[in-house]
Amino acid sequence: MVNDEPIHRGRGPHLSFVFLVSCLLAAGPVLFEKPAAAQDQGDAQDEAVAQDTDDLSVLVFSKTAGFRHSSIEDGAQALREIGEEHGFSVTHTEDSTAFVWPDLAAYGAVVFLNTTGDVLNDEQQASFERYIQEGGGYVGVHAAADTEYGWAWYGQLVGGYFDSHPHIQEADIAVLDRAFPATAHLPERWTRTDEWYNYKANPRGKVHVLATLVEKSYEGGNMGDDHPIAWAHEYDGGRALYTGGGHTSESYEEPLFREHLLQAILWAAGRVDGDVGPTLTGSYEEVVLDDDTTYPMQLEVAPDGRVFWIERDGAVKIWDPSIESTVMAGWIPTSMKIEDGLLGIALDPNFEENNWVYFYYMPLSQDPNRLSRFTMRGNRLDMGSEVIVLEVFMQRDLCCHSAGELHFDKDGNLWLSTGDNTGGTAPRTDERPGRALYDAQRTTANTNDLRGKILRIRPQPDGSYTIPEGNLFEDDDPLTRPEIYTMGHRNPWRYTVDPETGWLYWGDVGPGNQYVEDKLPQGMEEFGQAKMPGFFGWPYFVGPNAPYRDLNFETEEYGDWYDPKDPINDSPNNTGLRELPPAQPAWIYYSYGPSEEFPEMGLGGMSAAPGFVYHYDPEIAGPHALPEYYDGKVILFEWARNWIQEVLNDEHGDAMEITAFTPEIPYTRPVDIALGPDQTLYVLEWGQEFWGHNRDGQLVRIDYYGNEKRPPEALATAEPLSGPAPLAVAFDGSASASRNGGELHFSWDFNGDGVADAETPTAEHIYAELGTYTARLAVTDAEGMVSETDITVTAGNTAPEVSIAWPPFGGIVPMNTSVPYEVQVLDAEEGMLASPGARVTLQPFLGHDTHERPLHMHRGNTGAFNVVPDPGNGPYIIDRYVRLIASYTDWGTPALTSSDEVILYPNVVQAENRSMGEGDNLVITGNRQRPQFPDETEVYVELGHAEYVSFSTVNLHGVDALTLYLVPEADGAVQVRLDAADGPILAETAIAPPEESPIEEREGGPPIIHWMPYTLPIEAPEGAHDLYIVFEGPERGTVARFDRIEFEGPGATTRPGAGISILY
């Protein structure tokens, strides 16, 4: 926790300016045209400029020691004209002897106008450094980045060095900061012609990026999806701004570019304010509010600052800022079968008066899911106040997709998202008798069903609801549901409504299928945008309306491609309209691999989620609110890829630029984000593991500081955290640190009574009475800034120790098999429990890549679980594994829960999904998506001499042979080594190219590879080891292509003899 002391952002340091004799201005005034959206702000700037430039002098320096731009005189003339128009003097020189201290103090800003090469000697460099250190301003134009490569200080000042450029051409500039004075007058998409620089390194993080080039709008860019072209920062006591435009003479005739230069000069001179912190590394502080979360799902922040959040198992919690800790508000009885549970929460728009809160959940009875209203009594949820507003039928026999988020919009409408509640793999259009649960046409494409939709209703005080105007269907058609706003969703688990435009954004968890030529489009994740109600494609279309084909599941024959202009639902499971509205494409879409259209999305698992559209309001923004820089941007997050990003839309609402948000903060599966009443950001993090009690799940607040001073970092540990009373606990806060220098003052409150119990970095406290206590450490630095951290201690009960005795971590389990398990529990108060009974739960999950789905949960400390693969995915789905989580809750007061987990591997593992050593010949070839059909190409690894693929932490119990599927390209050998690339050899075999090539080329498609199996018998070593598959052969070129490894034998499905002992 951090004190919310006001931050005062005034002007930066100023020089004492005096007039110098300057060049007389020749040209008359120029009228500056501004976009309508920026006109008011521009008028205010003009007024401010007129009042604050009469004592300003600017030095324009254009000496060149390399290439000389013919536009220099035009640029200098334009700056003289700008100075005359706005009441300040401009001196233009190419004489480096002007760089003498203190003479430079006469200038409010120094402009490097297309300078090149080494233009200042050592003494002049020292004078310029002194000028900046005393509060001077610098503006670099275009080739200022092609200057003084050997002067490291200048490199930091300008922010980046020139690398290359293509020919002069038109390009789009994404103006990211429309609050900063030098870019506030510009449109979101600024299209102009110039020479566009590539820079040696991306300066983002070291400077505040104002604008970027959209590389797909021109030829020759080499910096990828993040190509800064204008930036600013405070450096070494002064202000510095660089702009990449200004190569051509025509640039200096453009009104928008001239205004850009004017405002750059005024900001650098300290005559106008501008925040340069928003994209600087270290501008944000992650403040942990609660690090003890279980299955966190959604959060809402009340007008009084209380943070409500729910957990999937039914817990309703509140972080209360008045006591700076979390309270349990209530527990809604819910079932977590398949993907259900307590899924959504929304506070009534009039919450301050009526204390109403809405939840969406599956009741324990497994009746239809409920959208219910409850009443809060202070920090307590009145469990007897439930009013059921809406019910959504959900089948409980087959996984997956529940969605379930709730939100109110500014008009008092309540929105609810629902999943398609359908199993199987794409295409989910199985119309065979008895296969309705595999047919999403019965739900998401059904106009008479609430599943696979985003619903919009208006709750009434009596618990009923009405239908607001503007939904997809009217209220008088028996074949439609009027609650539907959008349909055709697979699992729209997160969404938001822009309070200004009313546009709806959502994240839809997409299918993971691969592209199959002439059969299936590539499965894609989607961010959707709806400017009006509509049908968004699933299960007929994905991403940019890429169509599936009508598949006859009986004959396995493919029919026509579905038509997005005229989608027809003729499934026998459909109870709604046959003719659907035209399908609308996704706003942003991507798959597991690199996205050509949206490369900013990255790689890996997929779980798209929009957070909110930010609209900065200075009337309510608190001292640590998100800065105005984000105004109008859409904030997205990705649960599987651990990032938050900002999206700048163009005037049509299309995503023009996508940029990482606070990339220095290591988010761990963000599951929800929300703004507080003071526009401070809150993030709910699920934690690293897919399911279960994550030790790293937490609720955090992201405080913005920009260039302001930071509070200290409070870090504390305690040992032990639980045990019988009286309990002596040793506390240590010595790892805490000041960010502003000076010593720290420590204050410990061990029992939460608000009284300091100790004031030393380390301390000990004895808890004499039973109970759960929150110990708090507060550290205060020399600036008076305070940070706090909490530790939970339980006296009177010791947390049990839980161990999965079988199967072993890293064990091998073939698909479609039964695996025995044993969980052992040691309770300090009760000893080793021979039969802990139903208080032990074992939850298996089948995972692929970063996605997991729960299998049947088991109770009891012994039994067996079944490993059942995803229907239709075959043996080659991306990176398959099984996770087991065993949990036990003891009988103590208070009760404590502990858990253990094990990862198991399938008997078939793809080489490309494992770690690889570096090498000149090592390369992954093919599409990472696995084919569903055996006659399609595969992805594999090419390896040269001494290169390897490694498999981490594998237990080979029950494995008697390893079969490697290879295509040798040269005479050599393959070795299986333990724990290192040069470790003990477990098995090896010679390899040689076959006489007849196993690679079958075919016209119009990728080749068919007939992989050659090499079976290596082994004697399984004890315990878990890293396996290294090492290739030997000629030092140059490829030795072999490596597709997969198969572990032969029963693996962990059989146990060794009884009598396994676990030591504690």
Give pLDDT tens digits for 911-959: 876 665 655 555 555 443 333 333 344 678 888 999 999 989 999 999 9
CATH number at residue 178: 3.40.50.880
The SS3 of residue 114 is coil
Residue 519 confidence class, pLDDT cut points 50, 70, 90: confident
CATH number at residue 1014: 2.60.120.260
Does residue 34 surpass a pLDDT of 60? no
Does some domain include residue 322? yes
Backbone φ, ψ for residue 948 (5° rounding): -150, 165
> Do 60 and 150 reside in the same domain of the chain?
yes
Residue 401 confidence class, pLDDT cut points 50, 70, 90: very high
Backbone φ, ψ for residue 777 (5° rounding): -105, 125
Residue 333 near residue 383, CB atoms below 8 Å: no
d(CA 592, CA 350): 42
Residue 694 has which token pair?
Answer: 């994550």
The whole-number average pLDDT for the span 637-658 is 95
pLDDT in tens, 662-715: 999 999 999 999 999 999 999 999 987 665 566 788 999 999 999 888 889 999
The whole-number average pLDDT for the span 605-620 is 95
Does some domain include residue 220? yes
Residue 198 has which token pair?
Answer: 């590539």
Per-residue model confidence (pLDDT) at position 28? 33
Per-residue model confidence (pLDDT) at position 815? 82
- Residue-range definition of the domain harbouring residue 820: 801-904
pLDDT in tens, 819-870: 999 999 998 877 666 566 678 889 888 877 656 777 888 888 899 998 876 5
Does some domain include residue 125? yes
> Do 604 and 644 reside in the same domain of the chain?
yes
Longest CA–CA separation in the chain, Å: 99
Per-residue model confidence (pLDDT) at position 692? 56
The shares of helix, strand and coil residues in the chain, as percent rounded to the nearest 5, are: 10, 40, 50
The whole-number average pLDDT for the span 458-469 is 97
Does some domain include residue 865? yes
Residue 154 near residue 125, CB atoms below 8 Å: yes
What is the CB-side half-sphere exposure of residue 585 using CA atoms within 13 A? 10
Per-residue model confidence (pLDDT) at position 84? 96
- Axis-axis angle for helices 72-86, 255-268 (nearest 10): 70
Which comes out higher in pLDDT, residue 851 or 46? 851
> Do 735 and 826 reside in the same domain of the chain?
no
Beta strands, E only, 807-930: 817-827, 831-833, 840-848, 851-854, 858-859, 862-867, 880-889, 897-904, 908-910, 915-916, 923-925
d(CA 312, CA 298): 9
Q: Which residues contact 343 (CB under 8 A, 6 or more apart)?
A: 297, 298, 310, 312, 360, 361, 362, 402, 403, 404, 405
> Do 369 and 498 reside in the same domain of the chain?
yes
Residue 739 confidence class, pLDDT cut points 50, 70, 90: confident
d(CA 812, CA 953): 11
**602 to 225, 521, 655: CA distances (angstroms):** 11, 20, 16
Per-residue model confidence (pLDDT) at position 879? 72
Q: Which amino acid type is present at position 512?
A: G
The whole-number average pLDDT for the span 888-909 is 87
Of 857, 880, 904, at which residue does a domain stop?
904
> Do 251 and 220 reside in the same domain of the chain?
yes
pLDDT in tens, 533-567: 999 999 999 999 999 999 999 998 999 999 999 99
Does residue 752 surpass a pLDDT of 50? yes
Burial string for 624-634 (b: 16+ CB within 10 Å, else e) reads bbbbbbbebbb
Residue 1018 near residue 966, CB atoms below 8 Å: no
The SS3 of residue 902 is strand
Q: Which amino acid type is present at position 807?
A: P
> Do 726 and 689 reside in the same domain of the chain?
no
Residue 718 near residue 791, CB atoms below 8 Å: yes
Does some domain include residue 712? no
> Do 449 and 354 reside in the same domain of the chain?
yes
DSSP 8-class letter at 912? G
Per-residue model confidence (pLDDT) at position 925? 55
pLDDT in tens, 164-186: 999 999 999 999 999 999 999 99
> Do 300 and 228 reside in the same domain of the chain?
no
Structure-token match 């120094």, residue found: 110
Residue 1022 near residue 958, CB atoms below 8 Å: no
Residue 447 near residue 576, CB atoms below 8 Å: yes
Q: Which residues contact 762 (CB under 8 A, 6 or more apart)?
A: 730, 731, 732, 733, 734
> Do 293 and 261 reside in the same domain of the chain?
no
> Do 552 and 650 reside in the same domain of the chain?
yes
Does some domain include residue 734? yes
Is the peptide bond preceding residue 666 cis, with omega within 30 degrees of 0? no
Of 748, 769, 794, at which residue does a domain stop?
794
Burial string for 119-154 (b: 16+ CB within 10 Å, else e) reads bbeeebbebbbbbbebbbbbbbbbbbbbbbeebeeb
Q: Which of 233-237, 872-876, 908-912 has the lowest mean pLDDT?
A: 872-876
The percentage of the chain sitting over the pLDDT mark of 90, rounded to a whole number, equals 72
Does residue 11 surpass a pLDDT of 80? no
Backbone φ, ψ for residue 861 (5° rounding): -85, -5
Average pLDDT, the chain: 89
Residue 359 confidence class, pLDDT cut points 50, 70, 90: very high
Q: Which residues contact 556 (CB under 8 A, 6 or more apart)?
A: none
Residue 309 confidence class, pLDDT cut points 50, 70, 90: very high
Q: Length of the chain in residues, anyone? A: 1064
∠ Cα 219 223 227 (to 5°): 90
The percentage of the chain sitting over the pLDDT mark of 70, rounded to a whole number, equals 89
Residue 542 has which token pair?
Answer: 């994905």
Is the peptide bond preceding residue 906 cis, with omega within 30 degrees of 0? no
Residue 491 near residue 528, CB atoms below 8 Å: no
Which residue, 551, 641, 660, 594, is CA-closest to 932? 551
Which residue, 879, 567, 574, 892, is CA-closest to 723? 892
CATH number at residue 819: 2.60.40
- β-sheet bridge partners, residue 242: 140, 231
Of 738, 759, 794, at which residue does a domain stop?
794
Does residue 27 surpass a pLDDT of 70? no
Structure-token match 């506030």, residue found: 184
Does some domain include residue 275? no
Does some domain include residue 278? no
d(CA 37, CA 34): 8
Handedness of CA 738, 744, 745, 747 (dihedral sign): positive
Counts for the chain of helices (H) and strands (E), in that order: 6, 70
> Do 135 and 220 reside in the same domain of the chain?
yes
> Do 831 and 729 reside in the same domain of the chain?
no
Domain total in the chain: 5
Residue 632 confidence class, pLDDT cut points 50, 70, 90: very high
Among 146-150, 862-866, 897-901, which range has the highest average pLDDT? 146-150
Which residue, 234, 238, 214, 210, is CA-closest to 224? 214
CATH number at residue 323: 2.120.10.30
